């Protein structure tokens, strides 16, 4: 029989690293707790079955949407055993969750991670003693290097958890009596009823909703009322959940004092020293901007562009020649030859030459995510984000949106308040994703040779500023609710190159896949439309269907600087995918003029027109792959259509202002 | 006194978390911030920005609004 193992743990405990070690799959790793937002399943290396990765949580009672995943998963009750990864240096906090898992009654294996960090803090942990006290296997591991993961695998073997004792913590007379009463009321439930009763007493919203759907809860509610009334007499501030938490805490402290030896803690480590600078109250934000600038500089000047040029000369030179000769030799008809050479190779090749920049940018984003810097950014940006009616955590989806808007929108799940979450979803599509970067790279390379990194940075800053303004505007129309911001700064990690490369590949392969699937299809379609016209096939390109359609749109975008049908054609395919603009231009400008795309573009746009075009493209609509994600996360078709509509209007307005102010200032 | 009264670098013991709003209270408890714990203020950010403090070896940032609702004794 195959088993299903579920992986639980607090955020930032190395859960995803352990997942990768146990499954050997290329899953994504991040320090920010919004990264693990989807249910991920991997096949265990030891072929026993599957491993489900659950979002990092502190307790089973959820505060945000991604945290509710774990409780819902337990209620479905389909898994065989749980692996609980625990940060050895924070046992007091981590064991709160462990207790809730033990109470569920399924076999549990505890992976004791970061023993080295604990040791540095002066804690010596006797894991065998812990194991004896909790009656479950406790295995010291180093998730990042994979040490100890073998032992976890062998603890999963059938039979090795047979003698696990039922875990029962006494919560005191009053609570125990309430648990018994609830136990009777929940008699039709198949899972552990004591666990269910405790979670109900803790007012776990997922459990409450689940039970409400299944039975009449009046009696159960009165049981809870009686208990909380009783506790209020003792102390007016005491709630049932606090009582339970205190009982657990006392128990955990007992275990810790038996199994952990604490010595005087050693001097501050490099993580503390780094934080003195990175979270410096004045230097923090400038430092973040400098880091962003350096990333762009390296992405373009040092690595991206030289490699891009090599690829470009290969695609337009040898590859085109060889393919042309091969097709001629095969006797393929001229029409097909044109599709392949001028459509596919010119178009898709035009997108693929930006693979180096995309990989380098994703490499840095993965690095930042893995290092723990994201949480610092959330902290230093909170004050500014507050001006926009959001909190610092909303900045993370925006930064991830720089890579691709889709994971950015999904990362918004870790924001606790529904209102702030919704606003973040609405503004994340404005972020300059890596697909837009292909267009910016192309244009900046042609029109702003000496200021490339600066011009691209200006677009990124623009997207953030506009997003902030829009967030402020949206929050005026929404019900005000209490905002909360509590952020944990995890210790920094020494970058693990394997982890970062995996993360880079996970994100960037979508780009390559997109280029070879529907950008390919879109390009061929554009090419056909430019090849055929009312007068038949192989017409002059300005007599083609494409030109006719786009000429109708051109006058609309005329006032913002680029009223040619060629530019308009790019905007149509840009909705399919922003990088399709590049392949479309490769097709339409290839047909009109002679020479390279660069030459054709530099005569078709002035620098100011080019900048206005980039601004419009930056803002004008989420791409077609992003739209369904907005719908899913915002949960409404109306809001999805609204997102497309408002961004269109916004793009037009901002480009108009940029273009005309630019003209007044004497730019061309 | 309140957490906002602590000088950066100085320590204090948390005495009262009950004035916090429910969400912030629960999240701080999740992170192991209990009454009776010793905290050390690391920094307060300018223009009414967040407060960064250390408790049992971990660093946590909260808003000034919430810091002003945490009672401490120094």
Closest among A344, A323, A343, A321 to A332, alpha carbons compared = A323
Question: pLDDT category, A504, cuts 50, 70, 90?
Answer: confident
Do A143 and A177 have their domain in common? no
Q: What is the phi-psi region of residue A268: left when phi exceeds 0, alpha when psi lies from -120 to 50, beta otherwise?
A: beta
d(C-alpha A649, C-alpha A620), whole Å: 8
Do A351 and A231 have their domain in common? no
Q: Which range of residues forms the domain containing residue A107?
A: 3-156
**Which chain B positions have a beta carbon within 8 Å of A485's beta carbon?**
50, 61-63, 66
Closest among A294, A319, A359, A298 to A515, alpha carbons compared = A359
Residue percentage of chain A with pLDDT more than 90: 31
Question: pLDDT category, A656, cuts 50, 70, 90?
Answer: very high
pLDDT value at position A161?
A: 63
Q: Which range of residues forms the domain containing residue B35?
A: 3-73
What the block records as the tokens of A341 is 């050479």
Residues in chain B: 74
Looking at the complex, does the CB of residue B28 fall below 8 Å from at least one CB of chain A?
Answer: yes
The three-class DSSP label of residue B73 is: strand
Nearest chain B Cα distance for residue A392, angstroms:
10
pLDDT value at position A35?
A: 40
| A267 assigned to some structural domain | no
Do A435 and A543 have their domain in common? yes
Greatest Cα pair distance, chain B, in angstroms, is 30
pLDDT tens, position by position, A250-288: 999 999 999 998 887 655 677 778 888 888 888 888 998
* Residues 6 or more apart in contact with residue A268 via CB below 8 angstroms: none
pLDDT value at position A410?
A: 76
Q: Report CB contact under 8 Å: B18, A237.
A: yes
pLDDT tens, position by position, A345-390: 877 877 787 788 778 877 887 788 778 888 899 899 889 888 888 8
Which of B26, B36, B47 to probe the A interface (max A CBs under 10 A)? Answer: B26
pLDDT tens, position by position, A179-200: 999 999 998 888 899 999 999 9
pLDDT value at position A78?
A: 83
pLDDT value at position A635?
A: 79
Nearest chain A Cα distance for residue B8, angstroms:
12
d(C-alpha A173, C-alpha A616), whole Å: 67
pLDDT value at position A162?
A: 62
Q: Which residue of B has its CA nearest to A61?
A: B26
Q: Report CB contact under 8 Å: B52, A90.
A: no
Domain boundary pick from A262, A277, A303 = A262
**Better-predicted residue by pLDDT, A654 or A300:** A654
Q: Report CB contact under 8 Å: A482, B27.
A: no
Do A247 and A322 have their domain in common? no
Looking at the complex, does the CB of residue B8 fall below 8 Å from at least one CB of chain A?
Answer: no
**Better-predicted residue by pLDDT, A483 or B58:** B58
| A496 assigned to some structural domain | no
Do A256 and A294 have their domain in common? no
Residue percentage of chain A with pLDDT more than 70: 93
What the block records as the tokens of B61 is 């940032």
**A141 touches A113 (CB < 8 A):** yes
Can you name the residues that pair with B39 across neighbouring β-strands?
B12, B55
Q: Which residue of B has its CA nearest to A417?
A: B23
pLDDT tens, position by position, A555-575: 888 899 888 888 988 888 888
**Which chain A positions have a beta carbon within 8 Å of B15's beta carbon?**
none
**A527 touches A343 (CB < 8 A):** yes
Do A357 and A443 have their domain in common? yes
d(C-alpha A182, C-alpha A240), whole Å: 15
CATH number of the domain that A89 lies in?
3.40.50.300
Do A113 and A210 have their domain in common? no
Q: Report CB contact under 8 Å: A90, B56.
A: yes
Looking at the complex, does the CB of residue B20 fall below 8 Å from at least one CB of chain A?
Answer: no
Closest among A353, A443, A462 to A402, alpha carbons compared = A462
Q: Report CB contact under 8 Å: A61, B26.
A: yes
d(C-alpha A508, C-alpha A505), whole Å: 5
Which of B14, B23, B56 to probe the A interface (max A CBs under 10 A)? Answer: B23
Nearest chain A Cα distance for residue B23, angstroms:
7
d(C-alpha A292, C-alpha A459), whole Å: 13
pLDDT tens, position by position, A303-356: 877 887 888 888 878 888 898 899 888 888 888 888 888 778 877 877 787 788
CB atoms within 10 A of CB A461: 13
Do A229 and A294 have their domain in common? no
Q: Concatenated DSSP letters for A513-572?
A: HHHHTHHHHHHHHHHHHHHEETTEES--GGGSHHHHHHHHHHHHHGGGT---HHHHHHHH
- Average pLDDT over chain A reads 85
Q: Which residue of B has its CA nearest to A416?
A: B23
Residue pLDDT tens, chain B, 74 long: 999 999 999 999 999 998 998 888 988 998 989 889 999 999 899 888 899 999 988 899 999 999 999 999 98
What sign has the CA pseudo-torsion A415, A418, A423, A426? positive
Do A61 and A152 have their domain in common? yes
Q: In degrees to the nearest 10, what's the CA dihedral of A634, A639, A641, A647?
A: -90
Question: pLDDT category, A647, cuts 50, 70, 90?
Answer: very high
Closest among A365, A414, A275, A291 to A29, alpha carbons compared = A365
Which of A486, A487, A492 to probe the B interface (max B CBs under 10 A)? Answer: A486
Q: Concatenated DSSP letters for A215-267?
A: S--HHHHHHHHHHHHHHHHH-TT--HHHHHHHHHHHHHHHHHHHHEEE----S
What the block records as the tokens of A475 is 């929050």
Domain boundary pick from A156, A189, A224 = A156
CATH number of the domain that A245 lies in?
1.10.287
CB atoms within 10 A of CB A635: 11
What the block records as the tokens of B34 is 């209990």
pLDDT value at position A68?
A: 82
* Residues 6 or more apart in contact with residue A354 via CB below 8 angstroms: A304, A308, A437, A438, A441, A442, A579, A582
Nearest CB to B30 within list A58, A280, A382: A58
Q: For A360-370, b where at least 16 C-beta lie within 10 A, e where not — what string?
A: bbbbbbbbbbb
Nearest CB to B46 within list A279, A282, A486: A282
Do A248 and A292 have their domain in common? no
Burial of A192 (0-12, 13-18, 19+ CB in 10 A): middle
Q: Which residue of B has its CA nearest to A249?
A: B32
CATH number of the domain that B28 lies in?
2.30.30.90
**B35 touches A492 (CB < 8 A):** no
* Residues 6 or more apart in contact with residue A186 via CB below 8 angstroms: A193, A196, A197, A211, A215, A220
* Residues 6 or more apart in contact with residue A119 via CB below 8 angstroms: none
Domain boundary pick from A247, A262, A277 = A262
Nearest chain A Cα distance for residue B68, angstroms:
14
Question: pLDDT category, A33, cuts 50, 70, 90?
Answer: very low
pLDDT value at position A395?
A: 87
| A311 assigned to some structural domain | yes
**A111 touches A143 (CB < 8 A):** yes
Nearest CB to A92 within list B18, B27, B32: B32
pLDDT tens, position by position, A589-610: 865 555 678 888 888 899 999 9
What's the CA angle centered on A567, arms A561 and A572, to 5 degrees?
120
A205-214 helix and A193-201 helix, angle to the nearest 10 degrees: 120
| A168 assigned to some structural domain | no
ipTM of this predicted structure? 0.94
Do A147 and A178 have their domain in common? no
Counted domains in chain B = 1
Counted domains in chain A = 3
Closest among A517, A543, A519 to A530, alpha carbons compared = A543
Count contacts between A and B (CB, < 8 Å): 97
Closest among A251, A206, A201 to A95, alpha carbons compared = A251
Nearest chain A Cα distance for residue B37, angstroms:
12
Question: pLDDT category, A638, cuts 50, 70, 90?
Answer: very high
- Chain A residues with a Cβ under 8 Å from any Cβ in chain B: 58-59, 61, 63, 89-90, 92-93, 96, 121, 237, 242, 245, 249, 265, 275, 279-282, 284, 378-380, 382-383, 386, 391-392, 416-417, 482-489
Q: Which residue of B has its CA nearest to A487?
A: B61
| A273 assigned to some structural domain | no
Do A242 and A300 have their domain in common? no
**Which chain B positions have a beta carbon within 8 Å of A391's beta carbon?**
63
């Amino acid at each position: 029989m195959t088993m299903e193992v579920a992986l639980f743990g607090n955020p930032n405990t190395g859960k995803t690293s352990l997942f990768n070690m146990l499954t050997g799959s290329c899953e994504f790793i991040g320090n920010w707790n919004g990264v693990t937002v989807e249910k991920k399943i991997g096949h265990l290396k030891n072929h026993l079955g599957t491993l489900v990765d659950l979002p990092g949580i502190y307790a089973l009672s959820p505060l945000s949407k991604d945290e509710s995943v774990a409780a819902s998963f337990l209620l479905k009750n389909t898994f065989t055993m749980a692996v609980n990864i625990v940060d050895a240096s924070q046992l007091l906090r981590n064991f709160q969750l462990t207790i809730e898992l033990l109470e569920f009654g399924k076999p549990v294996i505890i992976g004791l991670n970061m023993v080295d960090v604990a040791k540095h803090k002066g804690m010596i942990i006797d894991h065998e003693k812990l194991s004896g006290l909790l009656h479950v296997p406790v295995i010291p591991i180093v998730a990042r290097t994979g040490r100890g993961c073998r032992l976890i695998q062998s603890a999963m073997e059938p039979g090795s958890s047979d003698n696990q004792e039922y875990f029962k913590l006494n919560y005191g007379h009053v609570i125990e009596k309430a648990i018994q009463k609830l136990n009777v009321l929940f008699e039709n439930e198949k899972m552990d009823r004591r666990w269910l009763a405790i979670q109900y007493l803790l007012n776990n919203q997922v459990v409450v909703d689940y039970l409400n759907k299944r039975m009449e809860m009046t009696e159960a509610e009165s049981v809870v009322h009686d208990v909380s009334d009783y506790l209020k007499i003792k102390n007016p501030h005491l709630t049932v959940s606090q009582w339970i938490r205190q009982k657990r805490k006392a128990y955990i402290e007992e275990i810790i004092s038996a199994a952990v030896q604490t010595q005087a803690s050693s001097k501050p480590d490099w993580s503390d020293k780094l934080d003195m600078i990175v979270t410096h109250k004045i230097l923090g934000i400038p430092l973040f901007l400098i880091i962003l600038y350096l990333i762009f500089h390296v992405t373009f000047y040092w690595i991206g562009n030289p490699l891009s040029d090599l690829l470009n000369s290969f695609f337009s030179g040898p590859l085109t020649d060889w393919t042309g000769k091969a097709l001629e030799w095969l006797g393929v008809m001229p029409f097909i030859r044109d599709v392949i050479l001028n459509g596919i190779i010119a178009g898709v090749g035009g997108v693929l030459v930006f693979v180096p920049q995309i990989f380098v940018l994703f490499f840095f984003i993965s690095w930042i995510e893995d290092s723990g810097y994201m949480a610092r950014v959330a902290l230093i940006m909170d004050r500014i984000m507050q001006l926009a009616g959001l909190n610092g955590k909303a900045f993370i989806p925006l930064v991830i949106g720089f890579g691709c808007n889709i994971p950015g929108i999904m990362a918004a799940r870790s924001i606790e308040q529904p209102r702030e979450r919704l606003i973040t979803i609405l503004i994340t599509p404005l972020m300059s994703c890596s697909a837009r970067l292909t267009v910016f790279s192309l244009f900046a390379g042609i029109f702003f040779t000496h200021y490339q990194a600066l011009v691209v940075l200006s677009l990124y800053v623009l997207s953030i500023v506009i997003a902030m303004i829009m967030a402020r505007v949206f929050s005026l129309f929404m019900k005000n609710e209490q905002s909360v911001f509590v952020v944990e700064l995890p210790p920094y990690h020494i970058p693990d190159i394997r982890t970062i490369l995996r993360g880079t590949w996970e994100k960037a392969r979508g780009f390559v896949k997109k280029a070879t699937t529907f950008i390919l299809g879109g390009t061929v379609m554009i090419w056909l439309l430019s090849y055929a016209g009312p007068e038949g096939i192989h017409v002059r390109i300005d007599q083609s269907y494409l030109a006719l359609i786009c000429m109708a749109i051109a006058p609309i975008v005329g006032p913002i600087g680029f009223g040619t049908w060629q530019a308009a054609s790019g905007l149509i395919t840009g909705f399919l995918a922003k990088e399709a603009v590049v392949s479309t231009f490769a097709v339409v400008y290839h047909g009109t003029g002679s020479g390279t795309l660069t030459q054709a573009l530099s005569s078709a746009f002035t620098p100011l027109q080019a900048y206005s075009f980039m601004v419009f493209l930056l803002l004008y609509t989420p791409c077609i792959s992003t739209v369904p994600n907005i719908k899913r996360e915002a949960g409404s078709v109306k809001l999805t259509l609204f997102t497309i509509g408002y961004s269109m209007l916004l793009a037009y307005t901002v480009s108009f202002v940029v273009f005309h102010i630019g003209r007044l200032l004497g730019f061309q | 006194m309140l957490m906002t009264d602590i000088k950066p670098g100085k320590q204090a013991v948390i005495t009262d978390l009950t004035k916090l709003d429910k969400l912030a209270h629960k999240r701080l408890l999740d992170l192991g911030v209990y009454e009776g714990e010793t905290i050390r203020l690391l920094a307060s950010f300018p223009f009414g920005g967040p407060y960064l403090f250390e408790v049992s070896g971990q660093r946590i940032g909260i808003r000034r609004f919430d810091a002003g609702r945490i009672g401490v004794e120094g």
